[in-house]
Amino acid sequence: MLWKKTKNWIKKFEQPLILLIGSTSLTFSLFNLDFNFLEANLYDLRVSRGYQNSPDPNIVLITLDDATTKELNEFSPLTLDFHVQLLEVLEGNNPKAIGYLIDMNHVNQVNPEVFKAGWAARFHQTAKRIESKGTIFLLGTPFDVTGETLPPFPLNTLEHAVAVLHKDGNVFSEDKITRRALLTLDDKPAFHLLLAKQLGLIHQDELPSGNFYVSQVDGNYFFFRYHGSTVINPKKKSEFSYPRHSFIDVLNHRIPPGSLNQKIILVGTLSSDDSSDFAFTPYSKNSFTNPKLTIHANILDSVIHQNGIKRAPQLVNWIVTFVVTTSVLWWIMTSTPVYGVFATFFLSLAFILINQALFQIKNIWIRESQPLVGIFVAYYLTIPYRLIKEYKKRWEYQKKNNLLTQVEELKTNFLSLVTHDLKTPVARIQGLAEVLLRNTTERLLPKDKKTIHHIFMATEELNHFISSILELSQVESNALQIQLESKDLNQLIERTITGFQAQARARKIEIQYELEPLFPVKIDSSLISKVLNNLIDNAIKYSKIGSKIFIKSQEKNNKVEILIKDQGIGMTQEECKNLFTRFYRAKNDTTTTITGTGLGLYLTKYFIEAHHGTVEVESKKDQGSIFKIYLPIYATEEMIHV
């Protein structure tokens, strides 16, 4: 008993259970797979195709570029004496901060003699003078597996911090792209964070938004934003997103006055022949690269303005994936295939657009890889399930259809057999009643004559009913054949009217007609006679005593129109809509007293449409009805099977 209840419950909630289990399993599986490469490409798409924040105009770059080395006839990164001269020029321009990102160990290696000849002490003294005037001075130092590489003495006594650009080499997509920046290392702030703190632009105990801890290196990172146009082609002269001045132009005072006043200056190398001066970014994974100095500026800009990318918690990513996969599964399982395809497409599009908006406006990064893969997998996993269900349903419908076909055949055969067998005894009863009435009319009392007359009329109605059932069975079994032959339709109408004159006189109804001369029309005269008989009979039965019936034939728009108008009880609009339905009879006081099968008008419509014609009705309650038949003048000469 318990198993039966459980089975019924499972059957009742089969689809929601499949939906829930499928979505949960798929989401769990997706989050146990590595989609870092795909996620990195989707991340880069948002970075490169989205709206970029404007770069901070207070960050100015001084580049030791090809123009500098050419004019000085030296090699990058120049000897220390040139760097001292640059610092002395900068001292007179009153900058707000100087971030020196040139590797001083490399400078020492270029010409150690210059370094030892007092220029190192002079560089140190100049830096200290700059600091005494309120300008922040910070050296950026490289980093290797042993840790921070300090500059030579006495420069190592100056304020310094690690200024390494992180490349995704062993985590995330492993494609050497610079997307995130180091903030702290061994509880010490890195170059960009330390410079921002010394400038007072970020609290001493604060970390930029979006920071996260990486235990393997005991450091904090964050995904920084790019600002403005950052794509640089080293083979072409391209503009930086931040104001830029060449080292040699600053050295020779060839820059606009005041352009460095109270600016945050970053000094670095930029040689088209040295690939180490460039790094790959989301903008430049193919043929373009970005100068490292520009990337440092973007990192510093993100730290200062607290616009780092905030990664959504894993739970949020899980819920989003679950919701989108559930939606796809639901649409595919419950809707039409076309709707499912469009719904899935627009869901994917909406998901991407919403994520892009959150990324650009709120700096929120929700993972797209798992949800998009989930949408794709859910769609292609559900389609076979849907096909199996549809096939099973179609197979069940086919079984039911076969069964219904057999039942319909049995019903048709039964009706045909019964009606055929009934016609003989009914005809016999009718004949005997007629003989009895004729032979005994002088000896019968009036009431007995009336009784026999009722028997005769009842058998007539029964015979009419049997004929209608036979015709219906022929129609439904597609056994009805139309024999077309050229006939004078007006003669057929006149003959039919003549046959109803006695019935009309009995109800004091006058039948008027106006028949326009017509060419012979190809029709099945037997079926059209039945149509005319049925419509005129109804017009007489449902007309008021002493009223008129008007019949008209005419050619109209390459069709023959037959109009039958009465002054009877009329019908409502609702009754007119259902009038040609089989076994339908209007429900009112008049129709309940008049016998009928409810098949006459159904067969009328069928016979007319079999001739490729139409039948229309116009009626108002208590104002009579107008039936219009339209038959094509040029009907096909082939025998029509319906």
At 440-450, the pLDDT tens digits run: 766 767 777 67
Flag whether 141 is in a domain.
yes
H helix or E strand, kind and range, residue 332 = helix 314-334
Higher-confidence position of 234 and 58: 58
Of 328, 425, 307, 310, nearest in space to 372 by CA? 328
Residue 324 CA, chain-centre distance (Å), reads: 12
Considering the domain architecture, whether residues 63 and 130 belong to the same structural domain is answered as yes
Whether 418 is covered by a domain: the verdict is yes
Verify that 471 and 486 share a domain, yes or no. no
Q: Is the pLDDT of residue 236 over 50?
A: no
**Confidence (pLDDT) at 251:** 94
Return the SS3 of 225: coil
Q: What is the average pLDDT across 23-30?
A: 88
Provide mean pLDDT across the span 456-470. 67
Mean pLDDT of 99-111: 90
DSSP 468-498: HHHHHHHHHTT--EE--EEE-HHHHHHHHHH
Label residue 320 by pLDDT band (50, 70, 90): very high
Please return the burial class of 493, using the count of CB atoms within 10 Å of its CB with bins 0-12, 13-18 and 19+: buried
Query: Are residue 350 and residue 429 in the same domain, yes or no?
Result: yes
Per-residue pLDDT band at 299 (split at 50, 70, 90): very high
Mean pLDDT of the chain: 82
Q: Which domain holds residue 218?
A: 52-222+249-273
Maximum C-alpha span of the chain = 161
In the predicted model, is pLDDT for residue 49 greater than 60?
A: yes
Burial of 153 (0-12, 13-18, 19+ CB in 10 A): exposed
CA angle 198, 201, 205 (to 5 degrees): 70
Residue 519's closest CA among 552, 558, 563?
A: 558
Poorest-pLDDT segment among 28-42, 318-332, 458-472: 458-472
The band of 479, judged by pLDDT with boundaries at 50, 70 and 90, is low
Q: Are residues 210 and 70 in the same domain?
A: yes
Q: How high is the pLDDT of residue 642? A: 45
Whether residue 301 is contained in a domain is answered as: no
Residue where one domain finishes, among candidates 479, 498, 523: 479
Check residue 6 and give its pLDDT.
58
Residues 566 and 431 in one domain: no
Q: Mean pLDDT, to the nearest integer, of 269-292? A: 74
Q: Is residue 281 part of a domain?
A: no
Of 461, 479, 497, which residue sits at a domain end?
A: 479
Asked if residue 368 has pLDDT above 70, the reply is: yes
Read off the pLDDT of residues 126-184 as tens digits, 9 standing for 90 and up. 999 999 999 999 999 998 767 788 888 888 899 999 998 888 876 677 778 888 999 99
**258 in the same domain as 341:** no
- Please give the Cα distance from 189 to 171 (Å, whole number): 22
CA distance 156 to 309: 34
Matching residue, tokens 């409502």? 572
Question: Which of the listed residues 417, 447, 479 is the one where a domain comes to its end?
Answer: 479
- What's residue 51's pLDDT? 77
The answer as to whether 148 is a domain residue is yes
- DSSP class of residue 186 equals T
Residue of 459 and 128 predicted with greater confidence: 128
Measure Cα distances from 531 to 351, 476, 561 in Å.
Answer: 63, 18, 14
- Which amino acid, one-letter code, is at 589? D
428 & 511 share domain: no
64: nearest Cα among 56, 72, 54, 52 = 72
Q: Enumerate the β-bridge partners of residue 212.
A: 221
CATH number at residue 600: 3.30.565.10
For 515-533, write each residue's pLDDT tens digit.
888 888 888 888 888 888 8
What percentage of residues in the chain have a pLDDT greater than 70? Answer: 80
Q: Is the pTM of this model over 0.85?
A: no
Higher pLDDT residue, 71 or 173?
71
Residue 259 makes CB contacts below 8 A (sequence gap 6+) with 60, 93, 243, 245
Specify if 25 maps to a domain. no
Q: What is the DSSP string of 430-476?
A: HHHHHHHHHHSTTTS-HHHHHHHHHHHHHHHHHHHHHHHHHHHHHHH
- Return the axis-axis angle of helices 314-334 and 369-439, rounded to nearest 10°: 20
Chain-centroid distance, C-alpha 345: 5
Let me know whether 445 and 543 are in one domain: no
* Main-chain phi, psi angles of 596, to 5 degrees: -175, 160
Same-domain check for residues 464 and 486: no
How many C-alpha atoms does 457 have within 13 Å on its Cβ side?
7
Q: Are 457 and 552 found together in one domain?
A: no
Pair of tokens at residue 435? 């003989």
Give the span between the Cα atoms of 485 and 428, in whole angstroms.
34
Among 169-178, 190-199, 219-228, 510-519, where is mean pLDDT lowest? Answer: 169-178
pLDDT at 466 over 70: no
Identify the residue with better confidence: 152 or 642.
Answer: 152
H/E stretch holding 220 reads strand 219-223
How many domains is the chain built from? 3
Helix (H) or strand (E) holding 348: helix 337-362
**474 and 535 fall within a common domain:** no
Rounded distance, CA 45 to CA 47, Å?
5
350 and 427 in a common domain:
yes
In a domain, 200, yes or no: yes
The residue written with tokens 């100068």 in the block is 291
Does residue 291 fall inside a structural domain?
A: no
User: Are 379 and 328 in contact, with CB atoms under 8 Å apart?
Assistant: yes
Relative to beta strand 160-162, strand 136-141 is parallel
Identify the residue with better confidence: 21 or 102. Answer: 102
DSSP string, 602-625: HHHHHHHHHTT-EEEEEE-TTS-E
Residue 631 C-beta-side C-alpha neighbours within 13 Å = 31
Q: Which residues pair with 554 in a beta bridge?
A: 561
Statement: residue 434 has pLDDT above 90: no
Inter-residue contact 272 to 234 (CB < 8 Å): yes
Among 100, 91, 88, smallest CA distance to 61 is for 100
- Sign of torsion over alpha carbons 290, 292, 297, 298: positive
Q: Which residues pair with 616 in a beta bridge?
A: 628
3-state secondary structure of 231: coil
